[in-house]
Amino acid sequence: MARTWEEKSGGVTAPQGFLAAGVAAGVKYKGRRDIALIFSEVPARAAGVFTTNLVKGAPVVVTMERIARGRARAVVVNSGNANTCNGEQGIRDARAMAQETARVLNIPEEDVLVASTGVIGQPMPMDRILPGIAAAARELSSGGGAAAAEAIMTTDTEPKETALSLPLSGHTVTIGGMAKGSGMIHPSMATMLCFITTDAAVSAPCLQEMLRHAVDRSFNMISVDGDTSTNDMVLALANGRAGNPEIAAENEDYHLLRDALTEVCTRLARAVARDGEGATKLLEVKVINAASEKDARLAARAVVASNLVKTAIYGQDANWGRIICAAGYSGAHFDPDRVDIYLGDIMVARDGVALPFDEEAASSVLAGREVRVLVDLKSGEYEATAWGCDLTGEYVNINASYRT
């Protein structure tokens, strides 16, 4: 099937029928956008994927309950406070955010999904958050995607949004997305926060299947620091405004939309990895010719998550032994005596043994803003790609004083 994607601007408001806003409510810092609102002008199908951390933020608990209905019209998000480990008060506060959103938008409370990100264990400043939600509702517009993407940032250095369109059965369908994430990135069935909108007509069960597929191949293949957050979630809303025949089973349109959704998630996942706290480089690890997809994924994720690999990338040290070591403890099955390793285009190991290579040239490869590592297991025909970043002293500085 041909992929005929077209780049779009607007992020979550690129699809028809979606409005968004981002406003400053003073949740943690004065003058900084920290309340985001996404609104579908018509009822939408909804799907979600959430953190597997046993400790879950109150918004995750509330939204997991509501997503089971398979429909929603709004997502309200705050940054600056995770609303996690706040007991029953945290649940009440998450529900209060939904109630206020429902009131100002004149929609049922059950149609509002809630997300929060920030410091754990801090009381929610509801005296600022609730007026902020009302202010965001007044600012809703078809051009508000960028402001919303900015409002969900914490230690991110830049907002992350993307959008594309594609033809489906004679109709043009658009998918938009925004994400935040910089630290505590080592997802297990989710990422920090990501919100996706589409004007495609698709059933809730199909949307859920597509989202899980996309997340598994994008956000579940990134790592910044090995920490899985308490508030991770990826939400998708589909309002059908494109007018395409509803996708309710696997067919050509199903696969085209799923591939496009995976592309949107992959772009956002790469952006999260590139913006890792203190990072100076994006690290891409591709494992090829594995015996199974599971083996390829295990090896790629282990290499990209290895602190020893990440520090070597930062120091521009072509220490390929750390790469094969990480693959070896990943749980993937392969013959170590057949592994080839490349740094960029430079082959540094063949059949598990060092090759003579130009250290200066290899160091130059590692000095780039994007570093690509290829691991050929020569055990089968499967492959997988994972993304991460280098580990720097600045990461320590950021997290040594995160709460204050």
Residues taking part in catalysis:
191
Phi-psi bin for 10: left (phi > 0), alpha (psi -120 to 50), beta?
left
The H-or-E segment that residue 81 falls in is strand 71-81
Neighbours of 49 (CB within 10 A): 24
Strand pairing category for 353-354 and 346-350: antiparallel
Phi-psi bin for 316: left (phi > 0), alpha (psi -120 to 50), beta?
left
CB-based contacts of 169, cutoff 8 Å, min separation 6? 244, 245, 253
CB-based contacts of 298, cutoff 8 Å, min separation 6? 330, 331, 332
DSSP conformational letter for 380 = S
CB-based contacts of 80, cutoff 8 Å, min separation 6? 27, 28, 29, 32, 34, 117, 118, 119, 154
Residue 78 and residue 27 in contact, taking contact as beta carbons nearer than 8 Å: yes
Residue 58 and residue 90 in contact, taking contact as beta carbons nearer than 8 Å: yes
Burial class (CB in 10 A: 0-12, 13-18, 19+), 131: middle
Tell me, rounded to whole angstroms, the distance of Cα 82 from its chain centroid.
17
Burial class (CB in 10 A: 0-12, 13-18, 19+), 123: exposed
What CA–CA distance (Å, rounded) separates 342 from 286?
10
